[in-house]
Chains A and B, each alone.
Chain A
Amino acid sequence: MNEQPALETRALCKSFGALTIARDIDFRLPVGARHALIGPNGAGKTTFIDLVTGRLKPSSGQILLAGTDVTALPAEKRVKGGVGRTFQINTLFNGLSVLENVLLAVGERHGVAGNMLRHAKTCRAVVDESQALLERLGLGADAARPVRELPYGRQRLVEIAIALALDPKVLLLDEPAAGIPSAESGLILDVIETLPRDIAVLIIEHDMDLVFRLAERITVMVQGAILVEGTADEIAADPRVREVYLGAEQTR
């Protein structure tokens, strides 16, 4: 494939003083990819996402979205470049309704969020699109409920809804199934599996069942650097990966 990868990082590094959290990360995420990022706790996976989205500034290196260098762009501008993310712990507007949560995201994308003169409900395109998105994700019935009243699993779904509302080309999911009892995680899985093929998806996960079910390629990160990258089968067979996960309950 000759087209630009949806996301690329070149020699990405991040240190806090003497502590290096990200080392020389060269990463490519092609368009439409289904990619997983795994590794032990503290490996720097969430840091990587923070660097890509702009929440953290890199010490050195480059970040490119669809071929454009966005390293110097602040976080809010990168969203326009097509990056959406979910957080490891639900980062929602807890006091607002589910619909409002999504409205805010869709409104930002449409560019009406800075408008001081209209009544918010008159932005019909925004409202309709938000409601349609909620329907698609099975949250239609909960639209008017305050988010904090939803069970944790459904809140996690709202988290994904907000990311999708941004119409991203690159979707970064930070442990989407974290904290959800396995009985409810089916919901999340279905949503991720049915995501449109033109979105490149990167998932951080610890649940190996999920990883091997969803991912076509897997990257393993250890102590801030990429250890190995390959297809799901290659990674499953790699002895270095087994060693890294020695002691973990979930190895194949």
Chain B
Amino acid sequence: MIVFPRQRRGVADPLPASNYLRASELTPWICAAGAYFAFPEYLALGGQILIMVLFALSLDLVLGYAGIVTLGHAAFFGTGAYVAGILAVHGWSEPLSALLAAAAAAGLLGVITGAIVLRTSGLTLLMVTLVVTQLLQEGANKLGWLTGGADGLQGIVIAPLLGAFRFDLFGRTAYLYSLAILFLAWVVARLIVHSPFGRSLIGIRENATRMQAIGSPVFQRRLRIYAISAALAGIAGALLTQTTQFVALQVLSFELSGTVLVMLILGGVGRLYGAFIGAPLYMIAQDQLARDDPVYWLFWIGLLLVLVVMFARGGILGIVDRLWTGTGR
């Protein structure tokens, strides 16, 4: 039995008829807003979840839509995190501008590494993305005077957001800040995905040979989305730094690349909302289960991955889709 990816009854990635919001698309925002009021003691976790949703969303653009299988997305997350942190340590404590700087740095890294990575494919591509991340992590480890090395970067002070909102101990400002940035990123991602450019990415993923034969500049298109995705990942990293006032060396780790990949797979790749389902599920489960049985946590995740690949290839959204089309809607 061979498992085919994207095997669905209907058409893969049907394009919605127009760009107007469907009611179901408001769900994540209602939930996020609701959580703010319903779980005030968990806002720190909530903020981290929002950040991981953003990170997973950025990965979805590259992996789900353009079909680039990378194990090195943490490179951009970590770059954004460190840039924001280093700027803050050196006196640049205004959050929004630092966020932009982090995005620019990560995006630039995306362009440079993308120009290299996207000329390869398959295992070579995977390895190059891995190695680039390792290089960055080694660099961060050794340049302790700049990055704090293995102990992490401390002493980060972030000025009040927009001059008025201080980052309080309860994480309220952090949560709303992350939520607002996530919303903006989502607007951008949604625009891209529904645009002709987004559709051409899907074409590239489905059959790059055909795309080339119809005159599509495949390399350029992939580089563009790679850079955009890198910038978004960098924003997520910077958000983490600004809301936790700390940068750990793990922001550049292979483990983080793997974790965000798992989150995205759980929710469903290439459906825009997989990140919104997978990341919260993973992090809430980890918070609840790993606390009691840290040994078993990874085991269950591993088992879940194996089962998802064998039986539920499209993740949770894939299952929902199958049920939806199965009832003959």
Q: Within 8 Å by CB, do A and B touch in the complex?
A: yes
State which of A95, A126, A145, A166 has its C-beta within 8 Å of the C-beta of B214: A166
Known A93-B203, A107-B199, A107-B200; contact A100-B210, beta-carbon cutoff 8 A: no
- The smallest C-beta distance from B40 to any residue of chain A, in angstroms, reads 38
B191 within 8 A of A: yes
- The smallest C-beta distance from A131 to any residue of chain B, in angstroms, reads 14
Within 8 A of A (CB), among B98-154: none
Mask, A27-57, CB within 8 Å of B = 1, is 0000000000000000000000000010100
State which of B13, B196, B198 has its C-beta within 8 Å of the C-beta of A95: B13
Within 8 A of B (CB), among A93-112: 93-97, 100, 103-105, 107-109, 112
Q: Report how far A202 CA is from B184 CA in the complex, Å.
A: 51
Q: From B202, which residue of chain A is reached at the shortest CB distance?
A: A96
Whether B198 contacts A79 by the Cβ 8 Å rule is: no
Mask, B174-207, CB within 8 Å of A = 1, is 0000000000000000011011111110110011
Q: From B207, which residue of chain A is reached at the shortest CB distance?
A: A93
Q: Which residues from A are CB-within-8-Å of B203?
A: 93, 96, 104
> Contacting chain A: which of B14-22, B43-51, B292-300?
B14-22
Is the interface on chain B under 10, 10 to 19, 20 to 34, or 35 or more residues? 35 or more
- The smallest C-beta distance from B36 to any residue of chain A, in angstroms, reads 31
Q: Which residues from B are CB-within-8-Å of A124?
A: none
Known A95-B11, A146-B12; contact A162-B214, beta-carbon cutoff 8 A: yes
Whether B18 contacts A119 by the Cβ 8 Å rule is: yes
Whether A116 contacts B198 by the Cβ 8 Å rule is: yes
Q: From B195, which residue of chain A is reached at the shortest CB distance?
A: A116
Since A95-B8, A115-B195 are in contact, a sample of 7 more A-B pairs with Cβ atoms closer than 8 Å, ordered by chain A residue number, is A93-B202, A95-B11, A95-B206, A96-B13, A109-B215, A113-B199, A116-B197
- CB-based A-B contact count at 8 angstroms: 117
- The smallest C-beta distance from A142 to any residue of chain B, in angstroms, reads 12
A92 within 8 A of B: yes
B166 within 8 A of A: no
Within 8 A of A (CB), among B1-35: 6, 8, 10-15, 17-19
> Contacting chain A: which of B73-81, B216-224, B233-241?
B216-224
Known A103-B199, A116-B191, A116-B197; contact A121-B15, beta-carbon cutoff 8 A: yes
Q: Which residues from A are CB-within-8-Å of B19?
A: 119, 122
Mask, B240-267, CB within 8 Å of A = 1, is 0000000000000000000000000000
Q: Which residues from B are CB-within-8-Å of A126?
A: 196
Whether A119 contacts B195 by the Cβ 8 Å rule is: yes
Q: From B220, which residue of chain A is reached at the shortest CB distance?
A: A114
Known A79-B213, A79-B214; contact A118-B196, beta-carbon cutoff 8 A: yes
- The smallest C-beta distance from A115 to any residue of chain B, in angstroms, reads 5
A123 within 8 A of B: yes
Whether B215 contacts A55 by the Cβ 8 Å rule is: no
Whether B215 contacts A166 by the Cβ 8 Å rule is: yes
- The smallest C-beta distance from B312 to any residue of chain A, in angstroms, reads 18
- The smallest C-beta distance from A165 to any residue of chain B, in angstroms, reads 8
A75, A87, A95, A145 interface centre (most CB from chain B within 10 Å): A95
Q: Which residues from B are CB-within-8-Å of A119?
A: 18-19, 194-195
Q: Which 8 A-B pairs have the closest CB atoms?
A: A79-B215, A95-B12, A119-B19, A93-B206, A116-B197, A105-B214, A146-B11, A113-B200
B97 within 8 A of A: no
B288 within 8 A of A: no
Whether A76 contacts B210 by the Cβ 8 Å rule is: no
- The smallest C-beta distance from A149 to any residue of chain B, in angstroms, reads 9
Whether B213 contacts A117 by the Cβ 8 Å rule is: no
A55, A114, A119, A122 interface centre (most CB from chain B within 10 Å): A119
B301 within 8 A of A: no
- The smallest C-beta distance from A93 to any residue of chain B, in angstroms, reads 4
Whether B195 contacts A117 by the Cβ 8 Å rule is: yes
Q: Report how far A112 CA is from B216 CA in the complex, Å.
A: 11
Whether A55 contacts B211 by the Cβ 8 Å rule is: no
State which of B11, B195, B215 has its C-beta within 8 Å of the C-beta of A120: B195
A240 within 8 A of B: no
